[in-house]
Amino acid sequence: MKTMPFYVVPVLWLISFFFSVPLVEPYEVSRLVALAAAVAALGAVLVDPANKLATIKITPLSVLVSLFLVWCGLTFFWSVSPFVTVIAFGMLCLLPLWFLTFALLPITTAQIMLTLRLAVATLALLALWALAQYFVFTSFMTINVTFRYPFADPNNYAAILNMGLFAALGLSFTTGHHSERLWSWIAAALMMAAIVLIGSRVAMAVSVLGLITFALLGRRSAGFDFKQIGFVLLAGVVALLATTLFSGERITSVMRVTELVQPAQDASLSARFMIWASSWELLKQHFLVGAGLGSFFLLYPGVRDAAEVASSGLMAHADPLQFGIEAGLPAVILLYAILVCVLVGFIQFLRSDQPAQTRLMVIGLFCALLTLAIHMHASFHLFIAAPLTLAGMMMGVLARYLPARQLVTCKLMPWGMVDLLLLASFLVVLQTCLFSEMHTRQGLAAMDRGDMQTFGAKINQAGAEGFGLNPRPYVLAASIPMGILQTSRLPEEEREKLFRQADGLIDQGLSRSPLSAGAYFSKGLLYASTGRGEEAQQFFEKALKIDPRHERARQMLAR
């Protein structure tokens, strides 16, 4: 009986992680491939003849993770924008899927170790790229030292390197080969240096906290050596000095840390407090069941502080707060229940008698997840694909070693096949939604170039995809009859027909996303261009109510 090669699941995880890092455009396709690789891993395990009679043990942690995923998915039914929720849910699936794959499925120790080594090697390369950006390819950096590429935010870059740092430290104790242990030390040191150079203050703080925790918990294990911790800390100190000596006009990491002494003069910190204050107002409005996964950016403009101009307004910069706004109190309770369950299991593990190598590897994985659990309270890691993919795998591996009460045992088949079919069906839904958004972006790019023929084709294609859930193609399609109305002299009957067509398209967009300031602004322009000034004013006012910073609506009202 031929069995599945042991490297299949590790390679599929690596593919998933590679495409979860925003390196390859179009990003919609990358997201789809990242999730498809996770589903393929489940399928690979199911079709392996060696697993035909396998069973899985359902634990409290696996139930909590599954409930969290299901509840967030249910917000689709009351979401202010179901289309956005589908896409956000597709990304969120990466963490539970990889967790369940490594925690419950019949994965061997060889597969686990290969996956961890691939993760550490990949993250070491990303750390090297961070060093290269700082010292060589400085065009990738902004003036305030927060280089991001390939990420949109430096905190997410630093967060995955933090997880890789402690995975590397844990791995260094699992081998008796000096060369492999040295390689793990170097990888950890590279990641520590990169975290310092990236300049994320919370990431640097949790790195130090994680190293202290690792040292305190592992110091009594056979083979533990404080030199490794010292080596990693030394790399961070060297990087800190490098930012001072070779920074030029850029703000250094030392300056970033010292800014905390005068928080009132720290623009980014002040902005973060304003975001949290405004987000708290949203939480009070939607705390019961939330407004729908992924909907924060639609809600935030209505409560945004006028002085808060630093952020893009897409994230709450605090994952529990954003989950509370988008998925309500149940999601927050489940999120913290997952964290508590991991902590309780880890404490029980520490009290048990385990081989030193296993003990130190598990401590490393725990510290990796600890850094993420702390940092997520000041950032948005659980809404970004790469941290989700990495955390899901690491939490799944950790769960395999933690003692846990077995709730029930069930056969992998046929329940695994049912899950696979459900996930494959969702992939189809996600694919058409992602492609709808991709073609909408391509249509907008064509319009900016003045290629209206391509614009029309792409927008029509986008409207036909996504089960008609995407509001943007409808609003953008209305610009075609609106343009004819504004530039052509037509009989009144033709003008009225074009008006009704454009008005109907915008209404269809608003029915799918009622919190679209842009749609109300377009509706106002339509009514203004056809001499309906009073109605146009009402729509401009609605646009401003949703987004008080909508300058074009304000300008139209000022006329």
DSSP-derived 3-state class of residue 65: helix
- pLDDT score for 266: 63
Residue 148's pLDDT band (cuts 50, 70, 90): low
For the segment 27-78, what is each residue's pLDDT rounded down to a tens digit? Answer: 889 999 999 999 999 999 988 888 877 888 899 999 999 999 999 999 999 9
**Tens of pLDDT, residues 88-107:** 999 999 999 999 999 999 99
Q: Are residues 118 and 258 in the same domain?
A: yes
For residue 25, give every residue at least 6 positions away whose Cβ sits within 8 Å of its Cβ, in sequence order, or none: none
Can you give the residue range of the structural domain that contains 481?
Answer: 471-558
Domain boundary among 375, 390, 405: 405
Q: Which CATH number covers residue 480? A: 1.25.40.10
pLDDT band of residue 23 (cuts 50, 70, 90) is confident
**Residue whose tokens read 């060093």:** 131
Overall domain count for the chain: 2
Same-domain check for residues 400 and 499? no
Is 70 exceeded by the pLDDT of residue 144?
no
Q: For 536-554, how does the pLDDT look when each residue is reduced to its tens digit (9 = 90+)?
A: 999 999 999 999 989 899 9
Q: Is residue 444 exposed (0-12), middle (13-18) or buried (19+ Cβ within 10 Å)? A: middle
Coarse DSSP helix, strand, coil percentages of the chain, rounded to the nearest 5 percent: 75, 0, 25
In the chain, what percentage of residues exceed pLDDT 70? 93
pLDDT at 464 over 60: yes
* Mean pLDDT within 208-235: 89
Shared domain for 476 and 399, answered yes or no, is no
Look at residues 355, 377, 405 and tell me which one is the last residue of a structural domain. Answer: 405
DSSP letters for 258-290 = HGGGSGGG-HHHHHHHHHHHHHHHHHHHHTTT-
Percent of the chain at pLDDT > 90 equals 62
Q: Which residue has the tokens 């590897």?
A: 361
At 264, the pLDDT band (50, 70, 90 cuts) reads low
Q: Comparing 128-132, 151-155, 380-384, which segment has the lowest mean pLDDT?
A: 151-155
Q: What is the pLDDT of residues 157-183, one digit of tens each?
A: 999 999 999 999 999 888 767 788 889
pLDDT at 300: 95
pTM of structure: 0.93
Statement to judge: residues 399 and 498 lie in one domain: no
Tell me the CB-side half-sphere exposure of residue 134, using CA atoms within 13 A. 29
